[in-house]
Chain A
Amino acid sequence: MVKRVLLSLAILTMLLAGCGPAPTPEVVEQTVEVEVPVEQTVQVEVPVEQTVEVTKIVEQTAVPEEKVEVTLAYGRFINLSFGPGPAPYEAIRTAVAEKYPNIEVQLNITPDDMGSWHDSLAIWISAEDPTIDIYGMDTPWVKEFGSAEWAVPLNDSIPEFENYAESGLDVFSYEGNRLGVPVWGSIQGLFYRSDLLEEYGFEPPETFGDLVEAAEAITADNPDMSGYVWPGGKNESLVMIWAALLHGFGGQYFEDDGTCAFNSEEGIEAVQFMNDVIASGVSPREVTAWDQEAARTRFAEGDAVFLQHNVSIVTWLDNAERSGIPGQWGLIGVPAQPGGRHSGVTGGFAFSINPYTDNLDAALKVMNVIASEEVQKAFAIAWGPVQHYEGLYEDPEVLEANPDVDKIAPVLETALSRPPSEDYAQVSAIIQEEIHSAITGIKPVETALNDACSRVDALD
């Protein structure tokens, strides 16, 4: 490079020398040192880090999200619809498939009997089994499951909770943690044959005495009918019947100091009433073997005057295909004696998340879908009241599917929960055993209730 520069200079010099006036030929020999500034472009390879924005157009095939299965554990009723809409399970699957195509909801059917249902969940969760991601929780289990940390708190995970009635969410809360998305709630009431009461000149009964009087008068002329039917078999329904009667006679579950109050004077009167209606024939002796289905079948077929049952059957009592008494029935709160309170024991179900699930994210997504208005509306149409999503029962479609929903309103005021206890499973078993012993004549009423209280007070 240097050589090239010098050569260029030489040529330039010669050219310049050649262009000027011819000098006087005078030869001077002189050595001149000339400093010539040289501009030199030197190419140096220097590594430079440079960020280059490149727009790259790539034709790419979308990679599908990994398929996830979320398993729901619930009783067979989730596959049934009592209204014009699809069964709730179908509604959940459809809604989840639309919003999260990679999530598939599977169903694991739990036993019908609530005790067996509870036992199944207890086995799975206590064994930390992740098979079930979401399960159905009954209202009396909340305290037990909450204290055992068997449900994932959902407080910050379900934005839709803002659209729910607080009271509905509180039922499935434990120490401030929301443990479930409620899907259905119910309350006990007294169904009666409005046509027969009118025919015989009776008003819907306010007290148990009124009930017995009307039942006896009507069945005297209709001996094939039963006066007052209720599920008195040894199962959870018996606890609900007993609880309503206990409070109806002015009793309560516990004293202020927490000791058992089942065996108070009022408590003894309540169970004695159960015995008396069986002994007198006002209630058929079969009630001591009945579950809810047997009791409501007797009433729906037109063979009973009064039925104590949860209000869910209003969805089909006017359906001539299923009921023998369309338009011939009425609903009021369970009667109460003077000094007692009209009490409708509440029931209901929510979906909760198994704390040992392997698919927490997917389970939360499914729960958010279940909590949505779309799915809650599906429950309202398929199963009827009550759902706690606000405004649901102003929807024309829901009202069309539940024309008798206004009949439930007066009963809602009588809401009563079952005995609150972290050992509810044991308390329920004790009540079932002792009350059933009393109404089947194995033990005198007072002995049975004293035994019940001894056993309940002995629990930790």
Chain B
Amino acid sequence: MRQRLRLREPAVAVLFIIPAFIGLAVFFYYPIGQTMIFSLFDLDHTSDWLNAPFVGLGNYLDVMKSRQFWLSLRFTFLFSAVSVFLQFWIGLGMAMATFAVVPRLRGVLRAIIIIPWAIPQIVQAAMWKWLYNTDVGLIGDLLVRAGLVGRPPLFLADPRLAMGAVIFAYVWKTASVTSIFLMGGLAMVPDHLIDAAKVDGARTWMRFWRITVPLIMPTILVTLLFRTRDALRAFDIIYGLTGGGPGTQTDVLSSFAYKFYFGYVEYGLGSAYALITFVLILALSLFYLKRIQPHLQFRS
């Protein structure tokens, strides 16, 4: 009689995890390890760290001494806070709208909402660059025709407008991503609770605050975690729109790693910038997770 190979459950689980772990190791941990190594060497126009001078923490000290780094850190936090705030409320509004319309329009509305999400960021940057163009841009022209301004604003070159223009373009895309997350949470809200609240005379606002929000709180917290993390790492759309300008006003942390890696071909310094960004985001994420842990319970 043949003996069948019986695996215990933990062994089966490990077998399923191995492919994912290999992928993580190759595409995630290996680059991080390589970046850590590069950051300890003076790599100028070469990635041959075995033959490059060892500088230890010298690259990190250079980063800390850089005034541009601290200015970009300030803008990165400001950009993240404002964009996450805006994309959350706009995303929540769009998500709730999909439940408020008649069912046969729900699919159409959801398809329209996710269109911005489907456009690659760098394509989106080119698109918004034309929309913001002073000479031929649609937005400036509409504002002039509406009588709101006398001439098209310098959206990307005026220091007073550039930050807002970049945030607006970013939120246009990310609000749709946020709404997708929140749609999932809203779908779990039991209708009978809402109906019962209506019968009891609760107004819309009260139903929203006292029933919907508490029920979807875990979804909200996880959504905010992911959106904040992505905002801290934002690069494509900002670099595509302004190149970090005017001056260095819209320079973000990620752009330093890019500039030093590919512009100046200084892999050592670029790696240091990248790792500092990584550690910062990791620390913030861990702190955030610890604070929201008690709230991550779905109430039935």
Which residues of A come within 8 Å of B, CB atoms?
115, 118-119, 122-123, 126-127, 144, 147-148, 150, 233-235, 285-286, 288-289, 294, 423, 425-426, 429, 432-434, 436-437, 440-443, 460
Q: Is the CB of B262 within 8 A of A119?
A: yes
- Name A's interface SS: helix
Q: Which B residues lie within 8 Å of A426 (CB)?
A: 263-264
Report whether A440 and B159 are in contact in the complex, using a CB–CB cutoff of 8 Å. Answer: yes
The answer, among A289, A423, A443, for a CB contact under 8 Å with B134, is A289
The answer to whether B265 touches A436, judged by C-beta atoms less than 8 angstroms apart, is no
Contact of A289 among B156, B247, B262 (CB under 8 A): B156
Query: Nearest Cβ in chain A — how far from B197, in angstroms?
Result: 52
| Docked-complex contact A148 and B265, CB < 8 angstroms | yes
By a CB distance below 8 angstroms, the chain B residues around A150 are 45
B259 touches A429 (CB 8 A): yes
Residue of B whose beta carbon sits closest to that of A128:
B47
Q: Determine if A441 and B154 form an interchain contact, defined as CB atoms under 8 angstroms apart.
A: no
Check: B248 CB closer than 8 A to any chain A CB.
yes
* CB atoms of A425 and B263 under 8 A apart: yes
Closest 6 A/B residue pairs (Cβ): A437-B247, A289-B157, A234-B245, A148-B45, A119-B262, A440-B246
Contacts of A233 in B (CB 8 A): 157, 245
- Residue contact A123 to B156, C-beta cutoff 8 Å: no
A434: chain B residues at CB < 8 Å are 247
What residues on A are CB-neighbors of B262 within 8 Å? Answer: 119, 122-123
Give the nearest-CB partner of A433 in chain B: B248
CB distance from B59 to the nearest CB of A (A): 12
- Give min CB distance, B241 to chain A, whole Å: 11
Q: Does the CB pair A288–B247 fall under 8 Å?
A: no
Complex Cα gap A460–B246 (Å): 26
Q: How far does the alpha carbon of A147 sit from the alpha carbon of B265 in the complex, in Å?
A: 13
Given A233-B157, A434-B247, A126 contacting B264 (CB threshold 8 A)? no
A147 to B46, CA, bound (A): 12
| A423 vs B248: C-alpha distance when bound (angstroms) | 19
Within the complex, which residue of B134, B156, B243, B263 is in contact with A122, where a contact is CB–CB below 8 Å?
A: B263
**Closest partner residue, chain B, to A426 (CB atom):** B264
Q: Roughly how many angstroms separate A434 CA and B154 CA in the complex, as a whole number?
A: 19
Residues in B with CB closer than 8 Å to A118 are: 263
Known: A436-B245, A436-B247, A440-B247. A286 touches B263 (CB 8 A): no
Q: Which of B47, B244, B249 contacts A127 (CB 8 A)?
A: B47
Most B C-beta atoms less than 10 A away, residue of A127, A285, A432, A436: A436
Q: Which residues of chain B (144-170) have a CB below 8 Å from chain A?
A: 154, 156-159
Q: Return the CB mask of B244-273 against A: 1 if under 8 Å, else 0.
A: 111111000000000100111101000000
Residues of B contacting A460 in the complex (Cβ-Cβ under 8 angstroms): 44
Q: How far is the CB of B175 from chain A (nearest CB, A)?
A: 26
B247 touches A433 (CB 8 A): yes
| 4 extra interface residue pairs, beta carbon distance < 8 Å, beyond A119-B262, A234-B242 | A123-B262, A288-B154, A426-B263, A429-B259
Can you list 30 A-B pairs with a CB-CB distance of less than 8 A?
Answer: A122-B262, A122-B263, A122-B265, A123-B262, A144-B45, A148-B45, A150-B45, A233-B157, A234-B242, A234-B243, A234-B246, A234-B247, A235-B243, A285-B157, A289-B134, A289-B154, A289-B157, A423-B264, A426-B264, A429-B259, A429-B263, A429-B264, A433-B68, A433-B245, A436-B245, A437-B247, A437-B248, A440-B158, A440-B247, A460-B44
CB distance from A294 to the nearest CB of B (A): 7
Indicate whether B195 reaches chain A with its CB closer than 8 angstroms.
no
Closest to B46 in A: A126
Name B's A-contacting residues (CB within 8 A): 44-47, 68, 134-135, 154, 156-159, 242-249, 259, 262-265, 267
Closest to A234 in B: B245
Inside 8 A of B159's CB, which chain A residues have their CB? 440-442
Say yes or no: A436 contacts B263, CB within 8 Å.
Answer: no
Q: Take A288-B157, A425-B263 as given contacts and tell me if A442 and B249 are in contact as well, using a CB distance cutoff of 8 Å.
A: yes
- Decide yes or no: A126 and B158 within 8 Å by CB, A234-B246, A440-B247, A442-B249 being known contacts: no
Query: Across the interface, which residues of A come within 8 angstroms of B249, CB to CB?
Result: 442
Kindly state the separation between the CA atoms of A426 and B267 in the bound complex, as whole angstroms: 14
Nearest chain A CB to B37 CB, angstrom units: 16
8 Å CB contact of B135 from A294, A425, A432: A294
Please give me the residue from chain B that is nearest to A144 by CB atom: B45
A443-B247 CB under 8 A given contacts A148-B45, A286-B134, A289-B134: yes
Is A115 a contact of B263 with CB atoms below 8 Å?
yes
How distant is the Cα of A425 from the Cα of B261 in the complex, in angstroms? Answer: 12
Chain A residue with Cβ nearest B156: A289
How far does the alpha carbon of A289 sit from the alpha carbon of B135 in the complex, in Å? 10
Minimum Cβ distance to chain A for residue B275 (Å): 19
**Which residue of chain A has the shortest Cβ distance to B154 in the bound complex?**
A289
- How far does the Cβ of B243 sit from chain A's closest Cβ, in whole Å? 6
- For B264, list chain A residues within 8 Å (CB): 423, 425-426, 429
User: Within the assembled complex, what's the spacing in Å between the Cα atoms of A426 and B154?
Assistant: 27
Which residues of chain B come closer than 8 Å to A123, judged between CB atoms? 262
Within the complex, what minimum Cβ distance (angstroms) separates B300 from chain A? Answer: 52
Nearest B residue to A127, CB-CB: B47
Q: Which residues of B contact A440 (CB under 8 A)?
A: 157-159, 245-247
Shortest distance between the CB of B238 and any CB in chain A (Å): 13
**CB-nearest residue of chain B to A122:** B265
- Chain B residue at minimal CB-CB distance from A441: B159
Distance from A428 Cβ to chain B, minimum over Cβ atoms (Å): 9
Q: What distance in Å separates the Cβ of B159 from its nearest Cβ neighbour in chain A?
A: 5
Bound CA–CA A234/B247 (angstroms) = 7
